[in-house]
Amino acid sequence: MYKLGKKPPRIKKKTLTFNRLLKGLPAIPEEFDLDTEKNIPCRMMGNNKYGNCVIVGRANQTLRFEYSEQGEVINITDKEVLRQYFKEGKATCWNKYPDNGLVMLDSLTSWWKDGWIADGKKYNISGFAKIDIDKYYLRAAMYLLNGVNVGLSLPDNYDDEVWENTDGKPNPQNGHCVYIPPICDKEGLYCITWGQPRKRMSWDYALKYIDESYAIVDDKNRFDGKSDIDVELLNSYLNGLR
């Protein structure tokens, strides 16, 4: 049995968009695979019992960020994932394990401001931006920033082994967050969810059911002096959030 857990998108008009963050439109391949050789395991991380998919998506992306920086797979435990989920869910003395799902934008802001503990260490991100639900910008964020975090309003028939059937209507009650690693081809992409190794998702399915998506900048310093990411604009936006 799998759990959902993403609350409906919280819209903020001043949220920075990824297309503004790009300096020009860099050439992005239609097909690439920057993830398979890393051999990073796919784990459930409690998402079969709790609606913690927003933090599971974060954990899967943190694994990739730190593999790129440290050259090894860090050991993020299920306990760390659940602790962060309950913390952001506003655990109290009378409700230590709130299981009500999370708002992606609020969780991203917490990741940036406060960080989280993974493999016994604190990890923050340098910033984030909203991605227009568009094939080019999704591919660009995947290619440049080690994948993307997306939220979906899944149809009622979402249990398909391969997500390609677009007959059903998006249902906001079926909110789910997944991490999309930097792998795609002309027909579609993949997502990491529910411990499944790279669940296939067609482009038609993605463009119909994704209701929010975010580019996450792990280390903005590596873009200084380069043409891909406007670090000055990112800094200006983040300073306004403090």
Is 14 within a domain? no
The pLDDT, as a whole number, for residue 235 is 86
Q: Which residue has the tokens 């975010």?
A: 214
Is 113 within a domain? yes
Say which CATH number the domain at 207 has: 3.90.70.10
Is 174 within a domain? yes
Give the helix ranges, DSSP H, for the chain.
18-21, 53-70, 78-88, 104-114, 135-144, 203-209, 231-241
pLDDT per position in the chain (242 positions), as tens?
Answer: 689 999 999 988 788 999 999 988 888 999 999 999 999 999 999 999 999 999 999 999 999 999 999 999 999 999 999 999 999 999 888 889 999 999 999 999 999 999 999 999 999 999 999 999 999 999 999 999 999 999 999 999 898 788 999 999 999 999 999 999 999 999 999 999 999 888 999 999 999 999 999 999 998 777 766 668 888 898 888 887 66
The two tokens of residue 36 are 């398979």
Is 4 within a domain? no
Q: Which amino acid is at 241?
A: L
Q: Which amino acid is at 209?
A: Y
The pLDDT, as a whole number, for residue 1 is 63
The two tokens of residue 126 are 């340098």
Q: How far apart are CA 117 and CA 176, in angstroms?
A: 23
The pLDDT, as a whole number, for residue 225 is 63
The pLDDT, as a whole number, for residue 100 is 95
Torsion from C-alpha of 184, 188, 192, 194, nearest 10 degrees: -170
The pLDDT, as a whole number, for residue 49 is 96
Provide the domain limits for residue 76.
Answer: 36-241
Angstrom distances, CA of residue 49 to CA of 86, 136, 189, 199: 13, 35, 26, 20
The domain total for the chain is: 1
The pLDDT, as a whole number, for residue 239 is 80
Q: How far apart are CA 21 and CA 229, in angstroms?
A: 6
Is 17 within a domain? no
Axis crossing angle, helix 78-88 with helix 53-70, rounded to the nearest 10: 130
Q: What is the pTM (predicted TM-score) of this model?
A: 0.94
Is 15 within a domain? no
161 CB neighbour count, 10 Å cutoff: 8
Torsion from C-alpha of 175, 176, 181, 185, nearest 10 degrees: -50
The pLDDT, as a whole number, for residue 94 is 85
Q: Which amino acid is at 73?
A: V
Burial of 35 (0-12, 13-18, 19+ CB in 10 A): buried
The pLDDT, as a whole number, for residue 227 is 67
Is 28 within a domain? no
The pLDDT, as a whole number, for residue 163 is 95
Is 47 within a domain? yes
The pLDDT, as a whole number, for residue 48 is 95
The pLDDT, as a whole number, for residue 240 is 76
